[in-house]
Structure 1
């Protein structure tokens, strides 16, 4: 099931209600019960209110994810305001300068299953929280943002994840252009990859290429992580960017020129890379500028990868195309 990620501009009081209503609609579509929908509504209201109060304007993202019977909803509150100088005070449960229903960011942390905040003086704040279905694994150390270009209701990018303790697969695809035609190509690629788990990455590319001949085509990258052998096997065609981050070191993974569905490299190549403990996999579509990097954010690599995904989206979004970001911790056993 594909549920669209939503972006709501927060720039006056009416947009707070708009964001809350959108969050409740997504929560209901995911299958959250009434009590959890109420929690989500409070969290969304509080997060949007804090943006408006402290930064005057910003953006709220609603990012659902579904994997079989399990699902989650990520809420991001993004701004480029003055930042939070006293984070400890802001996170106190019960603290609110205007008496909103949640009474402070600490209440969002209490209501949600996971949350985190990153704030820099004069550069703004990103606040993230996650609401998970009952039984969802806490091992999903991954962040995802998948937002269509303004004016489109569906994103022409898509992704597929298959995560387990032995081997995990991460895939991102960008249908050519944007809108319904791009989404059709991207969705077809996801369908093929979901049926090809366990195959060599080069073979997966070939299968997707053949399936996409009836569509406008796409760029795609797929990375398979062997957690026991600590290696990544990677193959890509087109302009999906993929990097491995470890400390101060960033390594770009090699993609070949071409367009799946139209021009496949004569010999699709797959590459193998070793990974160290605490390695981060970063993938993003060309909706972000090519220089997108976490290097200018001290300590961010040690935080939840969803927080990193939100910051990359906020700071490197070109705003001229669909934008998709995937950040995952891959350099250790999945606890």
Structure 2
């Protein structure tokens, strides 16, 4: 089998879905990825139904529909996830809209039912007038526990890979997350962030400032990156945060309030005056959200009723849709405290 396209092999590929032929491209891309992951033929067939129905819904109902097709891995197995994003019209009654027999396009209205029956896991959030974000996962066996931290990245328009990368780990009881923004765009920026993710995965269990120091040293042979690490200590009720460069970190409380976290100036791998670590109180059921400078802070939590009770993937994709720029790589990572 031919090797996967670069984007599909590294973090997934985004496809615009605004006409019927694009829906077929989503299905073929998902099937190809599943085959490369050696998923059973039965589950590849199930995935094909999910991809066709989900992307077909975007063609019929959505505005500016896009789909991210990517691999997901956990518990020694790999599956395929579709992240479907659109900018309208949204659903007034989600439960009614996803039921069999409901249609606004003159069809039988069985699309959502088919998706949910074949999927291992799904989540959906919709706001009338703003649009809908849906994630669907198809696993070869029993689906693993939902991810406590997840996100999305998207390359600059015209590039096949993103210079932004995200990662999460639990090491010796520490829950830590990383966001990296490789300097510039394209392959060299992606290489810098991939090295940051690799070094993060093997770094000792240590406070964020020490982990950032490890990453700084690991990136010396790359063009460098802005990056930040958050350590989420639920038992102590605190988030410890350290970063170099323009990575934004935000604590979102259940009451809708938000608090920014501080990174220091610098470029990991090249320019580092000092690495400081800051502690922030962590409320129960809070959400930790980090993003690169390809995402602007123009979104307001109060505009998304119910969003922050959803999965990290749906939260991240919603923020990326409404606050991400097409003129830069963009990445959002979300961790749930509860």
Q: What TM-score results when the alignment is normalised by the length of structure 2? A: 0.89
What corresponds to 1:255 in structure 2? Answer: 263
What corresponds to 1:88 in structure 2? Answer: 95
Contact 2:120 2:143 in 1 (8 A): no
Match of 1:309 among 293, 299, 316: 316
- Structure 2 SS opposite 1:19: helix
Q: Does 1:32 align with 2:39?
A: yes
- Structure 2 SS opposite 1:184: helix
List gaps (5 residues or longer) in structure 2. 1-7
What corresponds to 2:328 in structure 1? Answer: 321
CA distance in 2, matches of 1:268, 1:176: 19
What corresponds to 2:236 in structure 1? Answer: 229
Give the paired residue count. 329
List gaps (5 residues or longer) in structure 1. none
Contact 1:12 1:57 in 2 (8 A): no
Q: What TM-score results when the alignment is normalised by the length of structure 1? A: 0.90
CA distance in 1, matches of 2:110, 2:192: 44
Q: Cα RMSD over matched residues?
A: 2.3
The structural deviation recorded for 1:250 is 0.7
Alignment of 1:159-308 (within 5 A): 159-163=166-170, 166-247=173-254, 248-265=256-273, 267-308=274-315
- Structure 2 SS opposite 1:295: helix
CA gap of 1:14–1:75, structure 2 versus 1, over 3 A, is same
Q: Does 1:74 align with 2:81?
A: yes
CA distance in 2, matches of 1:228, 1:72: 32
CA distance in 2, matches of 1:94, 1:52: 19
- Structure 1 SS opposite 2:303: coil
The structural deviation recorded for 1:151 is 2.0
- Structure 1 SS opposite 2:220: helix
Contact 1:70 1:136 in 2 (8 A): no
CA distance in 1, matches of 2:68, 2:121: 16
